[in-house]
Chain A
Amino acid sequence: MSAFLPSNPDEHQRLLVDQIKDGALSRMVLMGIEGGDSATRAATSERLAKAMRADGAFASVVNGDAASRELDQHYLMQSRYLLSPRVTAERFSAEGLRGAIQGSINALGGSAGLLLKAIFPQDPTGELPALIERMTNGRMPSSQDGVWTSASGDIALLVAMTAAPGTDTDAQEQVLARIRSAFDAAREGADVRLLMSGTPVFSVDARRTIRAEIERLSLVGGLAILTIMLAFYRSARNVVIGLIPVLTGIVVAVVAVSLGFGTVHAITVGFGTTLLGETLDYSIYYLVQSGNNANWRREYWPTIRLGVATSICGFAALLFSSFPGLAQLGVYSIAGLLTAAAVTRFVLPVLPARPVPDSSIHWLGGKMAGVSLQVRRLKWLAALLAVASLAIVLVNHDRLWAKGLSGLNPAPLNLQKLDERLRREAGAPDLSHMLVVSAPTADQALQAGEQVEASLAPLVQSGTIARIDNPAHFLPSTAAQQSRRSALPDSAELSDRLRQAVAALPVKADRFQPFVEDVQAAKAAAPITLQTLKGTSFEFLLQSLLLHRDSGWAVLMPVALPEGAAKAQAARSAIEAALGHAEPRQQAYFLDMDRQATEMFGQYLNEALVFSVAGVVGVVLLLALALRQPARIARVLMPLVGAVVIVMAAHVLAGTALTLLHLVGLLLIVAVGSNYALFFDQSFGPASALTQGALQRGLSRTQAAALASLALANVSTMIGFGILAWSQVPVLHAIGATVGPGALLALLLAMAWSGAREGRTPEVAA
């Protein structure tokens, strides 16, 4: 969905955008193996992990198997004196050691004693259990038959990080295919199934679904429209000629977008082509109305031209959007519309179209005139409906629009739920609240993170914050490692202090020879680096929490707030206050992802709304210039306003919050509907009102043609867009559910409120 991420975010938003686009989370694939028995799932998990580890497409794969567990334990055991924040000169003094050893002896008497006693001589100060406690903190997945499982034990879990960036959807698609085929080999015919989720799965799935849905629905819609055209024109040649403006429009639109933006989002082409369905109307108007060319240019072309101009005004609103996706849609639509209109005006008249049979025109025109008269009897009802809808929209104006990203998430709900479950079970970091610390180098960022954590430590102690995670827990800064190293005494000194420490304890100092050796090894050990973490399950946490960005490095420190809204709010304020006192040079801030996303999208939605209002003002000015009479302007505008507010009110009543794509849909209603309203104004304005008498005397060919062309254009629009309303993809559904009904409403309202008699303009009354 990167097409709908803003292109000029501020610093906080940039991090959010980076996270969504390129962050480690965008490369993380969560896998679950279900079905079969526990041993089968475990064996499959091991074989799958082995195959994936041998594949260069994956940066890391963890499944909690013996190999990675051993690496984890080995790493923690080896590096415990550089990793543990408890390693200080005081703790390694004789008195400090006495306290620490007494604590360990007490622990030996406790329920975990059986596990602890084996490492007691080597780790009498209990650094390893303390580290395990801090790192896992109850978040490590459960384990069964030697691999990670869900808490209930019925799904084996794996987490992989792809080598390819999250934005490269093609690469991600291939990676997912490799996982599937590796799984098929790994299950060795057993009846187990693979569940996959994570951002790569979402983006690949979204692209495939949107493409497939657009292709399928456009095909169905297109065939239906072509069949109707063929039935009406009774000429295959006319059908082909009718498609020329649409096709040239699409080609020019694609070229214009790629010239303007460098790349064309797949989604732009998908949506844009649907939007250009409107251009089919132009050729319909031309083919149906042009009994003779000269007449058409004089009588009809100015109306179409005005319709094109109002549509462009509407779409121009999109051009200025900060979302590249919307800006592209704007360019695409405008270029397409202009081209199609120009082709209709200058190319179609020189092509050998067959005249549409009078019988077709009079039959459809007559039907439409009948419908029109029926509808006009309901003009007050229509007015009432529009006013009621306006009231509904005004009353609910603050909950009309969807907040945050959710409205734009193209993933189906079941996939979103699966993702949430796997993420929780696999202990993936929850980044909804976090502290962000930036610095020019990774080491500086880690060090700054340690300082920030230290300044917030009182809040953790007091329980104001439930927990802070920090990549420096796995990879301490050089400075922290150095200070811990220098806190460790040398062999002779340590042995001496140990003798003093255990004088009053039921243990002999000699027992701790392994401890003395380990401390010596730690003093001499090479510093911990990213390389040291290779292959451990901490590596993937580190990749999620230590980010390389254009401007340097950022450390993300997920913060778990206490449960309950009031406590969470108190924690937020306390964090903000504590950060305010932190060293000013530190680039640290607290990020509430949900609030940030909501604010950011709220801001961009507002921007889009402002541009849309500007577009609408443009349309009104344009009509005012062209029509000049207030009554006529009202007559053209009222059906558009009516259609838009009724569609909005229907969404309110259905409980559907509107998104940016609904906004695009509403703009389309204005674009398409303006043609209808203009034609009604031109053909059946006050001067030539459509009355029962006129209908009985027989419609003129001009009027019949106008009505017939409107009917055809409206049916093709309703089919083309309305069919998208059946799509399961929320973004397609949004367009379909607005434009389909909106186009029909615009036509019906234009009919209902077309002037019946001189001097009566119900619109003004409404």
Chain B
Amino acid sequence: MQQLAKHPGGRVNFTETKTLSVLDQPVVSSGELIYSPPDRLEKNTLKPVPESLVIRGNDLTVVRDGVKRQLRLPQYPEVLAFVEALRGTLVGNRSLLEQHYALALSGTERDWRLVLTPLDDRMKRWVKQIKVQGSDKGLSTVETLQADGDKSVIAITPDAR
């Protein structure tokens, strides 16, 4: 965790694979994640449909199909919990994560694994567990197991640029 806390902001590429029971094949999307400490997180999906999701403090903005939607995170606790899972892991803020999840950290500094189990009932209706894997270089995957058995895996690779 301490090591993560030292991790500065930056840009990485991601590929998200969603496995949904309603679909026969997973849906795959990719783009870039930009993190600017302390609280700005940007997820720019480039393929297959461009979408920009910007979280800044307590504001979340999504732009898709040219339509902008905004919401205040404190009004949507389950979304907030999601966001904090990412932000908390990125900065290695243990107390922030513990507000929303039970934590289980295992592995070594070079190959660690953090399992987040939601505490809040509203969150539990959506998410069973979030598994984060990483190395001394930072995060490598974020796997979200949804309550209904669906899952999403975000694989992170360093920015080639």
Interface, chain A (partner B; CB < 8 A):
105-114, 117, 120-121, 133, 138, 142-144, 149, 151, 153, 506-508, 511
Contact = CB atoms under 8 A, between A and B. Distances in A.
A673 to B, nearest CB: 61
Contacts of B68: 138
Interface in B50-70: 51, 53, 62, 64, 67-70
Contacts of A109: 16, 18, 27-29, 48-49
B23 A111 contact: no
Contacts of B146: 114
B29 A110 contact: yes
Given A107-B49, A506-B23, 5 more contacts: A109-B29, A109-B49, A110-B29, A121-B22, A144-B74
Contact of A151 (B49, B62, B72, B150): B72
B22 A110 contact: no
B23 A110 contact: no
B2 interface: no
- Across chains A and B, which 4 residue pairs bring their CB atoms closest together, nearest first? A506-B25, A109-B27, A109-B29, A506-B24
Contacts of A153: 72, 74-75
A110 B70 contact: no
Given A114-B146, A133-B67, A108 B75 contact: no
Contacts of A144: 74-75
A507 to B, nearest CB: 5
A121 B20 CA distance: 12
B43 interface: yes
9 contacts: A107-B49, A108-B27, A110-B51, A111-B51, A113-B18, A114-B146, A133-B67, A506-B25, A507-B23
B49 A110 contact: yes
A121 B43 CA distance: 28
Interface string B114-138: 0000000000001000000000000
Nearest to A508: B24
B45 interface: yes
B67 to A, nearest CB: 7
Contacts of A120: 22
B22 A511 contact: yes
Contact of A108 (B23, B45, B69): B23
Interface centre among B24, B28, B43 (most CB of A within 10 A): B24
B49 A117 contact: no
Nearest to B48: A106
Nearest to A109: B27
A98 to B, nearest CB: 15
A136 to B, nearest CB: 10
Contacts of A511: 22
Interface centre among A106, A109, A508 (most CB of B within 10 A): A109
Contacts of A138: 68-70
Contacts of B28: 109
Given A108-B20, A111-B53, A143 B62 contact: no
A506 B20 CA distance: 11
A506 B23 CA distance: 6
B120 to A, nearest CB: 14
Q: How large is the interface on B (under 10, 10 to 19, 20 to 34, 35 or more residues)?
A: 20 to 34
Contacts of B67: 133
Contact of A507 (B16, B24, B72): B24
A109 B27 CA distance: 6
Interface string B2-29: 0000000000000010101011110111
B62 to A, nearest CB: 6
A142 B72 contact: yes
A151 B126 CA distance: 26
A337 B23 CA distance: 88
Nearest to B18: A109
Nearest to B45: A110
Nearest to A137: B67
Contacts of A110: 29, 45, 49, 51, 64
B54 to A, nearest CB: 11
Contacts of A117: 20, 22, 150
B18 to A, nearest CB: 6
Given A117-B150, A144-B75, A111 B70 contact: no
A518 B51 CA distance: 30
A144 B80 CA distance: 14
A237 B74 CA distance: 75
A121 B23 CA distance: 10
A144 B62 CA distance: 20
Contact of B62 (A106, A111, A121): A111
Nearest to A112: B62
Contact of A114 (B27, B75, B126): B126
Nearest to A124: B22
Contacts of B43: 111
A117 B20 CA distance: 8
Contacts of B22: 108, 117, 120-121, 507, 511
Contact of B49 (A106, A114, A121): A106
A506 B25 CA distance: 5
B25 A108 contact: no
Interface centre among A105, A108, A110, A143 (most CB of B within 10 A): A110
A105 B26 CA distance: 10
Nearest to A103: B49
Contacts of A108: 18, 20, 22-23, 27
A151 B59 CA distance: 11
A667 to B, nearest CB: 54
Nearest to B43: A111
Interface centre among A113, A114, A121 (most CB of B within 10 A): A114
B31 to A, nearest CB: 11
B24 A105 contact: no
A430 B72 CA distance: 23
A109 B18 CA distance: 7
A138 B45 CA distance: 22
A600 B146 CA distance: 61
A143 B75 CA distance: 7
B3 to A, nearest CB: 29
Contacts of B126: 114
Contacts of B24: 506-508
Contacts of B18: 108-109, 113
A506 B19 CA distance: 11
Contacts of A151: 72
Nearest to A502: B24
A138 B67 CA distance: 10
A511 B45 CA distance: 28
A156 B70 CA distance: 19
B86 to A, nearest CB: 12
A317 to B, nearest CB: 55
A207 to B, nearest CB: 39
Contacts of A107: 49, 64
A153 B77 CA distance: 14
A646 B112 CA distance: 85
Contacts of A506: 23-25, 27
A105 to B, nearest CB: 6
A627 B98 CA distance: 96
Contacts of B75: 142-144, 149, 153
B124 to A, nearest CB: 14
A110 B44 CA distance: 11
A105 B51 contact: no
A627 B142 CA distance: 100
Nearest to B78: A114
B19 to A, nearest CB: 11
Contacts of B69: 138
B126 to A, nearest CB: 6
B127 to A, nearest CB: 9
Nearest to A133: B67
Contacts of B48: 106, 109
